[in-house]
């Protein structure tokens, strides 16, 4: 029997999927309870294409696209969005460049015009490029003084040494300074095109109208030179524990990130690891780790665990902000909790609480148009199937304590952790 929540979950009956002749995938779902429409999407133009010497090029390019087109300058785009209370933004990650926007249903034609102009005909205005460069460099100098950011960066460098995932997508000051306007134009010309472009439209619009609107602005787009995403190299997990310290003088707090590699999004261990991670350092007052390190010992300002999974190898990590004098104690306590976790696993009660939380959270995450648009992109990105969210509660309930223990033992080894510390 279906619950009332399952009737409202997106599925094959109300997700419309269409592929254009030039290679664009359009996903749409109607929601006439709201007068607005959300568009969200991605295309294969991420930092995997960046050379080490020009790291940050993909992100710099994506962020420049909405700062002026051959049709409208930066102020013109800003005014067009402002006039109808709409928004549109772009950025790049490791695998893809992403865009998202929101407007009233009646303004969707305008929003799609602006999206098309930005994707296809950016002007790379010199003044705007330099203004953005200054902002990016300011962001990087702030990052260099942020103990949490630097610990996270350092953790990735240890865990993914020699792998593209070890590199920050926003680059370094030297690489951002080296990128020219021509580099941005060249990157755009080569990597932006319809092949692999996925766009999700959710809100007060019929699916066939959404498809027609996208076709109107993007159906004639061609780029025969678009390269395929490079293959990820083979990833080798750490063979022994490795620690790295980043010295940032004048700070009153040290941040630490410690952990190991984790499953890919499509690995069978992903769901057991996610439910286990909730018990380890998420649920309630940040799970067992929050309880031991923060509540009982008073050693941390915050302490929690997270599981990051995507197309390639993921990470399973614990983050904590501590008094610099308590770093060693906090590391030992966290290591002790990880040891207990991989030795004893989770109790049936802990797992049941975690499962109820995951199942209860799903309809809440899909209450907004933006939540549904993101869910549709997830389905497409990982080829989960249009009925994935209808089956999700059963998938979650199907995980046993033994599944969680097996996932924990596969990925977490207390003797082979990457440990990054940033602070005074």
Over residues 365-399, the pLDDT tens digits come to: 999 999 999 999 999 999 999 999 999 999 999 99
Give the residue from 246, 224, 238 showing the smallest Cα distance to 422: 246
Q: Based on the domain organization, do 48 and 106 belong to the same domain?
A: yes
In a domain, 140, yes or no: yes
In a domain, 223, yes or no: no
For 355, what's the count of Cα atoms within 13 Å in the CB-facing half-sphere? 19
CA distance 72 to 57: 23
Q: Based on the domain organization, do 22 and 167 belong to the same domain?
A: yes
Q: What are phi and psi of 367, to 5 degrees?
A: -75, -30
Give the helix, strand, coil percentages of the chain, each rounded to 5: 50, 20, 30
In a domain, 4, yes or no: no
Q: Which of 162, 186, 218 is the last residue of a domain?
A: 218
Q: Which of 153, 183, 218 is the last residue of a domain?
A: 218
CATH code of the domain containing 373: 3.30.830.10
User: How confident is the model at residue 281, as a pLDDT?
Assistant: 83
Q: Based on the domain organization, do 211 and 265 belong to the same domain?
A: no
User: How confident is the model at residue 284, as a pLDDT?
Assistant: 62
Contact between 42 and 97 (Cβ < 8 Å): yes
Contact between 393 and 359 (Cβ < 8 Å): yes
Q: Based on the domain organization, do 203 and 250 belong to the same domain?
A: no
User: H or E element: which one contains 349?
Assistant: helix 348-365
Q: Based on the domain organization, do 191 and 269 belong to the same domain?
A: no
CA distance 311 to 265: 6
SS3 103: strand
3-state secondary structure 218-250: HCCCCCCCCCCCCCCCCCCCCCCCEEEEEECCC
Q: Based on the domain organization, do 206 and 59 belong to the same domain?
A: yes
In a domain, 266, yes or no: yes
In a domain, 199, yes or no: yes
In a domain, 125, yes or no: yes
Q: Based on the domain organization, do 143 and 258 belong to the same domain?
A: no
SS3 355: helix
pTM of the model: 0.91
Which residue stretches of the chain have pLDDT < 70? Answer: 1-7, 284-285, 295
Q: Based on the domain organization, do 197 and 254 belong to the same domain?
A: no
Q: Based on the domain organization, do 214 and 247 belong to the same domain?
A: no
Q: Based on the domain organization, do 186 and 286 belong to the same domain?
A: no
Tally of domains in the chain:
2
Give the residue from 136, 221, 157, 203 showing the smallest Cα distance to 369: 203
Q: Pairing state of beta strands 418-423 and 254-262?
A: antiparallel
Domain that holds residue 288: 242-423
In a domain, 326, yes or no: yes
Q: Based on the domain organization, do 184 and 321 belong to the same domain?
A: no
Q: Pairing state of beta strands 36-43 and 198-203?
A: antiparallel
SS3 33: coil
User: How confident is the model at residue 5, as a pLDDT?
Assistant: 45
**Where does residue 412 rank: exposed (0-12), middle (13-18), buried (19+ CB within 10 A)?**
buried
In a domain, 233, yes or no: no
Contact between 282 and 308 (Cβ < 8 Å): no
Q: Based on the domain organization, do 367 and 317 belong to the same domain?
A: yes
């Amino acid at each position: 029997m279906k619950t009332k929540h399952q009737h409202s979950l997106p599925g094959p009956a109300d997700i419309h999927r269409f592929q254009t002749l030039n290679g664009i995938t359009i996903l749409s779902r109607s929601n006439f309870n709201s007068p607005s429409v959300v568009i969200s999407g991605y295309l294969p133009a991420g930092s995997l294409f960046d050379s080490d010497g020009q790291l940050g090029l993909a992100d710099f390019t994506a962020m420049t696209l909405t700062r002026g087109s051959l049709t409208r300058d930066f102020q013109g785009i800003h005014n067009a969005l402002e006039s109808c209370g709409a928004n549109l933004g772009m950025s790049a990650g490791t695998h893809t460049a992403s865009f998202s926007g929101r407007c009233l249903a009646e303004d969707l034609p305008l929003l799609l015009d602006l999206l098309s102009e930005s994707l296809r005909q950016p002007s790379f205005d010199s003044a705007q490029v330099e203004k953005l460069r200054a902002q990016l460099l300011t962001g990087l100098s702030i990052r260099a003084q942020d103990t949490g950011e630097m610990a996270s960066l350092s953790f990735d460098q240890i865990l993914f040494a020699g792998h593209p995932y070890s590199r920050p997508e926003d680059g370094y000051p030297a690489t951002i300074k080296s990128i020219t306007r021509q580099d941005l134009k060249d990157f755009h010309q080569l990597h932006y095109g319809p092949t692999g472009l996925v766009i999700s439209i959710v809100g007060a619009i019929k699916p066939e109208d959404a498809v027609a609107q996208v076709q109107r602005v993007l159906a004639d787009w061609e780029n025969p030179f678009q390269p395929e995403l490079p293959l990820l190299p083979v990833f080798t997990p750490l063979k022994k524990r490795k620690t790295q310290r980043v010295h940032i003088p004048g700070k009153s707090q040290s941040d630490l990130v410690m952990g190991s590699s984790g499953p890919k999004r499509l690995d069978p261990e992903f769901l057991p690891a996610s439910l286990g991670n909730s018990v380890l350092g998420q649920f309630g007052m940040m799970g067992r780790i929050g309880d031991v390190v923060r509540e009982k010992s008073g050693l941390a300002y915050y302490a929690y665990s997270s599981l990051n999974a995507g197309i390639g190898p993921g990470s399973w990590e614990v983050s904590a902000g501590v008094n610099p004098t308590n770093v060693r104690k906090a590391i030992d306590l966290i290591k002790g909790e990880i040891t207990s976790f991989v030795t004893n696993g989770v109790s049936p009660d802990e797992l049941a609480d975690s499962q109820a939380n995951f199942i209860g959270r799903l309809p809440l995450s899909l209450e907004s148009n933006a939540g549904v648009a993101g869910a549709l992109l997830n389905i497409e990105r990982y080829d989960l199937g249009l009925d994935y969210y209808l089956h999700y509660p059963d998938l979650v309930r199907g995980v046993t304590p033994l599944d969680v223990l097996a996932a924990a033992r596969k990925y977490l080894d207390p003797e082979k952790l990457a440990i990054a510390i940033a602070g005074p």
